[in-house]
Amino acid sequence: MKKFLLLILALVSFSIANAQQTNKPADLEVKKADDFGMFIPPKKPLINFDKIGKFFKYSTFYGVGQISQPITPSERFYYVTQENEVIDVTPERKPNYSYGIGLRKVARFDYERKPGVFYDGNEQQQSFYTTVGAVSGWEYKFEYTWNRQFGNEFTNQDFYLRYLGKHFIVKGQMVKDGFVDLEYNSLDLRYRLPVGKKLNFSLGVIGRSHRPYGYEPIRDYLETPFVDEYGVERLRQWWELAYEYGFQDNAYAIDLDFDGETDLIDYYWTAPNGQRVADTDADFRANRFGPMVVGPYNREQLALIDDQGTISAVVGLDFYHYEKTNWLHFSASVLPYHQQLFGDEDFGYALYNGDGVVDYSWLDYSASLATGWKISKNLGVYIESNYTKFWDRKVYSAKAGLNFQFR
């Protein structure tokens, strides 16, 4: 919310500064003499509300809240006690929800229609994925939402500001996608080369600040040798990390053939509060160790690492053809080479990409496609898709359809 308010304040400040730099003598008295014949320089208005109004003209502020039922399990699960008491242990799922606020000003392409009477934050316009928008000038979207989906609670943030000029493109983004665990801030500066009316090339640089993607603290814990309290160099074992989080294993003997002899030893596990959480080592590793130990450990260790800063070369292509009966819109950006600006290289993606050797030549990219064809008055087909690969994170969606109208 602080970032959201700061961005709104920055937009207003930019508009004010832009207005102050505008010199239009027609709006002011160029010369005015005082009683002694001295000329008084014209006064410029401190705030040009016309300019601010123009920046926000046609923008929409919206607030939204929605809730839906969770997935209903197709079968119930039961536990039967020694006394033949049947207990329903089916997990109770909580409803899905989403609520948030936003401010947007994004032009639609010719083939797009407004999804509904009101904006609800679920709109996925192609302008969000293309380098070149439908109109020149400013476009923006500032949205923050709180969500629960399939039992997972997360927040999403999409702050997007772009200026499209005749021969340059400037775009800033602050993205947090809690559903796929992707978070970064970026500033994209490009030279734009229009070729005719349908094709645009772009070339420039993009700077990104982000968390250390690719680094897995649990691998470091298990694969990095250390010297223990006895002076012996060795690798840590998985159960030692479980002990650090308060879990305890308890040995018990198993007599498989009932001959009074122990055939094997296994362990049941208890949580820090003493509750039994697993009956065997295998049960604990498969169902408890990941979410109860590895997950918290990874989050805690990643939180101790400063953000990474990366600057990347970027090349883009946009092609847009539109007729009433058919259209094709394709946009792609490729980031082929990168250089670290700040942050510890030991946790950088270049080290992960090079499998232990620093390698800045990984390939990040994004692409979008929208095409449709009205084959006849009755029949039409369409495809819409977008795909983004940044570091080891992938975000994508696609849909295709056929419409036939009976007449």
Q: Tens digits of per-residue pLDDT, 242-294?
A: 999 999 999 998 888 788 888 889 999 999 999 999 989 999 999 999 999 99
How many angstroms separate the CA atoms of 129 and 330, rounded? 10
- In percent, how much of the chain has pLDDT > 70? 89
How many angstroms separate the CA atoms of 142 and 137, rounded? 17
Confidence at residue 39, expressed as pLDDT on a 0 to 100 scale: 59
- The band of 370, judged by pLDDT with boundaries at 50, 70 and 90, is very high
- The band of 42, judged by pLDDT with boundaries at 50, 70 and 90, is low
Give the residue from 151, 152, 208, 141 showing the smallest Cα distance to 180: 152
Give the residue from 127, 124, 125, 156 showing the smallest Cα distance to 139: 127
Give the residue from 220, 213, 218, 202 showing the smallest Cα distance to 394: 213
Give the residue from 125, 166, 150 showing the smallest Cα distance to 70: 150
What mean pLDDT comes out for the span 179-198?
Answer: 94
Give, rounded to a whole angstrom, the gap between the first and last alpha carbons of the chain.
51
List strand residue ranges (DSSP E) for 271-363, in order: 276-278, 308-322, 326-335, 338-342
Mean pLDDT, all residues of the chain: 87
- The band of 82, judged by pLDDT with boundaries at 50, 70 and 90, is confident
| pLDDT: which is higher, 257 or 239 | 239
How many angstroms separate the CA atoms of 164 and 280, rounded? 61
Confidence at residue 234, expressed as pLDDT on a 0 to 100 scale: 93
How many angstroms separate the CA atoms of 104 and 142, rounded? 6
- The band of 37, judged by pLDDT with boundaries at 50, 70 and 90, is low
The answer to whether 119 and 80 are in contact (CB under 8 A) is no
- The band of 11, judged by pLDDT with boundaries at 50, 70 and 90, is low
Model-level pTM? 0.77
Pairing of strands 96-105, 86-88: unpaired
How many angstroms separate the CA atoms of 390 and 363, rounded? 8
For the chain, the domains span 2-55, 58-208+308-373, 217-303
Give the single-character DSSP code of 231. S
> At residue 23, does pLDDT exceed 60?
no
Query: Which distant-in-sequence residues (6+ apart) come within 8 Å of 42 by Cβ?
Result: 25, 28, 29, 30, 31, 32
> At residue 390, does pLDDT exceed 60?
yes
Confidence at residue 14, expressed as pLDDT on a 0 to 100 scale: 53
> At residue 156, does pLDDT exceed 90?
yes
Q: Provide the 10 A C-beta neighbour count for residue 65.
A: 13
> At residue 24, does pLDDT exceed 50?
no
How many angstroms separate the CA atoms of 116 and 268, rounded? 56
